[in-house]
Chain A
Amino acid sequence: MQQPSDVQRLPAEQMFRAELEALTAAETRPVPTGWRMSPWSVRTYICGGRVGDVEITPKYMGNERLVEIAIATLLTDRALLLAGEPGTAKSWLSEHLCAAINGDSTRVIQGTAGTTEEQIRYSWNYALLIAEGPSERAMLKSPVYRAMEDGAVARFEEISRCAGEVQDALISLLSEKRVSVPELHLDVPARKGFSLIATANTRDKGVNDMSSALKRRFNIVVLPAPASLEAEMRIVQSRVAQLTSHLDLNAALPAEDIVRKVCTIFRELRAGRTLDGSQKLKPTSGVLSTAEAISLLAGSMSLAGSFGDGTVGDIDLAAALQGAVIKEDDKDSLAWKEYLENVMKKRGEGWFGLYAACRELLP
């Protein structure tokens, strides 16, 4: 198929179409009802590997065990809740899971404060409803409804942003596994293969707690921040390259040294201790996620490309860093000062430029 090049972002199943086809073609193991490929192939698709002569790129570079738990959960027809801090690839993983299992990751409900119960179950085309009365033609099926009909996996992004009562509309859907339409005397049972992947933020502000009744219907998998500095650097580097290849930034990709510094600072402040574990640090209120590191570097590239010499240097970095770290108030500023004095200053020569630049910017 021809890929329209002016589309900003393609859904996963189109972007990695070749890999999915190769995996389906090479399938030898039993495929669960409603799935396009076996659980093992799904794992290969997510975690990377090789099928025949097709190289499968890893989509989720992290703990393979968590991916296994996620797949096994969907196998047991339980709904899956991917929880975690912002920027830990929750939506990314959910999209790719759907792409691999159904070849379609577009059955999505985007949770917002304005999401209503109708958007979860079904709503009506009111013009038709008035003209013809209730009929299937006048019904607008929600992604969950369609997934039930098709025996597929639906996605529910940012579930915790919805109001509690709207979230609870899911309870009956998930326990009964059927949706009833009293207007049409219709009762649609979910076909085999139906499931739901929801994502929820644990740290953002303005989220609603999920009721424990709903939580009980999910298997919860908490996605962690990358386990090691090298892993995080790898993710950051590859994503920065992917992201900026679409944008014309006029700047070279940041040097490994720069990426290492950013990842080190982020990891240390996030974990509240130095990488070697010898010192504890004050954590900051801001979420220093991997995604934030990626956008920070992209931002620095844009800064360097537009107003600098095209390579990301300490000064470009310092401004972005301070903005990322000091989010709230004096507390962050105190923590950052302590970090500069106690840790960064003592790191030696390679860090001195950054230290000086950061120090300069402090009030």
Chain B
Amino acid sequence: MSGEPVFFGVRHLSPAGAFHLRRLLDDVRPQLVLVEAPADLEPLLPDIVRSGTQPPIAMLAYTREPPVRSLLYPLAEYSPEYQAMLWAREHNVPCRFMDLPSDVFLALSTGDGIEEEPGDEAGEEDCAEEAAGERKTPDETGPDGESGADTAGTTGNRPDGKDEREAHELFWERVLEHAADGESYRLGAAAYGKQLRLREETENRGARHEHAEARIREAHMRRVIGQALAAGVPAERMVVVTGAYHLEGLRNVPPLTDAELKALPRRAAACTLMPYTSYRLSSRSGYGAGAKAPAYSSLIWQGLHRQEPRWHARAYLARVARFQRQEGHPVSTADVIEAVRLADALALLRGSAVPALPDLRDAAITCLGGGSLARISRAVADTEIGTLMGTLPERVSRTSLQDDFDRSLRDLKLERFRTPVEQGLTLDLRENRRVKSAKSAFLGLRRSFFLHRLRVLGISFAMLRDGSTGRDEGWNLRWTPETEIELVERSLTGNSIRQAVAAHFRQTLDEAGSPAAVAAVIEEAFSCGMSTELHRAAAALQAVSIEATELGDLAATADRLSFVLRFGDVRRMDTRPLEPLLQQIFLRCCLLLSAACDCDDKAAEPILSAMDSLDGVARAHAFLPEEFWLRALDDEAERDEGNACLSGLAAAILLERGKMPDDRLQRLVRRRLSPGMPVDRGAGWFAGLVRRNRHALMGCLSLWEDLAQYVDSLDDEEFKRALLVLRRALADFSAGEKNGIAENLAEIWGLGGAQTSEVLNAALSGEAEEMLQDIESFNFDDL
């Protein structure tokens, strides 16, 4: 081949690369610009460089059929590729994409990861998906070796992997982002790429699959270059923009032949442009090493244009300071000056003339944050990552999320609901044993998962009707244009409905503060059939609940968990990890019970229901440490200092469980209803006791004997108070139960049962009503 085109090796999100590339383009004045991006995405080019387009944006290629795989090519303002495309348009020079077409790419990447199926409970873990996403687009993530190193680290969050990535990042910034001129950048990047490649070969890092894939891609790029040369573009007037890693390959790998290209697998794919956010660009949301700090890179980009090598440092620190001031924390200009000086000194100590990100952050923490990152963490996040969101010109752009929605409707036979008329749908979640395939046997369940996911995302297509149970669900479905808009909005958080829901859960979890809020997420994740998120929420619940001391809240949480555990089978979810969690919360409830029982009657209300639900939980699950619960109840039943009503309820529960022998009950009743006990406490205890298992109590004659004796022993004033409490205690007894009590008492007083009952159940006379009113308004505090 005659001569070699002008290669420019870059890192895909590198401000210095973009800057120097533009200068190079100005110098070379090429007739053709080749960019490393899938060849079949070239139709997107006019829209990318259109004047209404504002990066960050991303090119997205995705398979049309499940399992869904997608490739994402984010472009920031300072992406060398983006600047190359812009330059080409500005100078009316053709620009072409030369990388392997995305349909081949998607078919090649058979590794695990991004794959997912609607209703597939064993869906891959989310971060694995994203990691795989990175892996598939190794070239945007970095001059590629980075992502090579990364791939090795994706299997687990090994700390050394992270350190190594940070070291790479820092090295790149110190040496290349702040390189003195274009030529040194170009040579440096080339050397860097070469070393990465060498290291990969010698240490055999990264999977073989990746190596092979990289070679195929290089061969394809080589082929496009060859075609261009053959078409008569002189080599010295052609600029090739590619990841630094590929430079060696582009020189040495033989071009792909027609036959080879034909032999490559393909999968039908579609592509689109989507607005991107700086948050998604940053590694914090799971996207690899390339753009750890998009907003900071932007500052470097601006600094380069101002021709001031340290502008970015001052801008960074000034921005952190401004953010702090806006948030109401005083930061003086003197502090910023000190921070700039410290950053310079740190850079010097670490062997560099220009401060890099870690220097700046350390300086900001020390001088602006009083030594603590937590104090300025939001300012730092805002300055490093930013909240920029890209925009695309007005036009129909179909997102993968919309496609996923359509596909799911088809797959779940829900297409007839795609009308603006509301229709009802009732689902039976249990297995349908009359059909053959597993897919249709669980159709109801899969539909339920899908609809719940839409509901969680706030997509107004599906509304859950009230009165749905653990086994059956009623839905109202209705399609509106808003549905599409909501889908597009949601497409920013994920490429499929599943991913979007996962992102939603992540965010809710981050914001949730109380155990009940996290338990709500657990329940939602359970409804949506997302076990990964369920387990993540479970871990979060463990973290949140540790600080919780509110028995009512914890008991409600335990109740929710218990519900999920009981219906786990219906939804075919693995809920076992929740068991130890429930165990812990239950244990804490047992430990907290005694303290919670020291309260007045008003505060006792939630504790009463908490005890009821805890007892239910304790019975429902054999793995819970029941002895703790029984012991706590035991203590409470015996304790005279706590709330009387709660103590009574404790005794009632023990009685119901057969842990309260008759003689002990009798002893307790006598003590509680003895004259030494204040009247409202005695009656309150009784009220607690009769909250449960009334039939057993009804049959226990001695109890009523004691009560009768007790009532007899009261004087008039005390009787009024006791009457009030006892009347309340017995208020929600049914007529039949009241009859039973009447019979008991009649027996004791030696009256006829029927007669007494008549009196009890008769409507109150006017006089009695008045008396009761008096008592109701009676203020005990005056006594």
Contact = CB atoms under 8 A, between A and B. Distances in A.
B349 A71 contact: yes
Given A216-B335, A341-B587, A39 B349 contact: yes
A64 B543 CA distance: 31
A145 B762 CA distance: 96
Interface of B: 330, 332, 334-335, 338, 341-342, 345-346, 348-350, 358, 362-363, 366-367, 370-372, 539, 542-547, 584, 587-588, 591
Given A69-B362, A73-B366, A81-B371, A219 B542 contact: no
B546 A75 contact: no
B546 A76 contact: no
A280 to B, nearest CB: 4
A83 B375 CA distance: 15
Interface string A272-316: 110000111110000000000000000000000000000000000
Interface of A: 39-40, 43, 65, 68-69, 71-73, 75-76, 78, 81, 83, 212, 215-216, 219-222, 272-273, 278-282, 334, 337-338, 341-342
A282 B547 contact: yes
A216 B332 contact: yes
A76 B542 contact: no
Contacts of A73: 342, 345, 366
Q: Please provide the 10 A-B residue pairs with the shortest distance between their CB atoms, ordered closest to farther.
A: A220-B371, A72-B345, A222-B371, A280-B543, A280-B546, A72-B346, A76-B341, A75-B345, A219-B366, A220-B370
B642 to A, nearest CB: 16
Nearest to A220: B371
Given A72-B345, A222-B372, A281-B546, 15 more contacts: A43-B349, A68-B350, A73-B345, A75-B345, A76-B338, A76-B341, A81-B371, A212-B330, A219-B366, A219-B371, A220-B372, A221-B366, A278-B539, A278-B542, A338-B588
B371 A221 contact: yes
Contacts of B542: 278-280
Contact of B591 (A40, A280, A334): A334
A205 to B, nearest CB: 20
Nearest to B341: A76
Contacts, number: 76
A267 B450 CA distance: 43
Contacts of A279: 542, 584
Contacts of A65: 358, 362
9 contacts: A68-B349, A69-B366, A72-B346, A75-B348, A76-B342, A78-B341, A220-B372, A221-B366, A222-B371
A71 B350 CA distance: 11
Contacts of B539: 278
Given A83-B371, A278-B539, A72 B584 contact: no
A166 B365 CA distance: 27
A281 B584 CA distance: 11
Contacts of A40: 349
A75 B346 CA distance: 9
A177 B5 CA distance: 62
Nearest to B369: A220
Contacts of A222: 371-372
Contacts of B358: 65
Contacts of A341: 587
A337 B592 CA distance: 12
A215 B591 CA distance: 44
A123 B346 CA distance: 38
B321 to A, nearest CB: 13
Nearest to A42: B349
A246 B362 CA distance: 39
A219 B539 CA distance: 38
A242 B546 CA distance: 38
Contacts of B371: 81, 83, 219-222
A220 B546 contact: no
A241 to B, nearest CB: 27
A191 B362 CA distance: 28
B676 to A, nearest CB: 29
Given A216-B332, A338-B588, A69 B543 contact: no
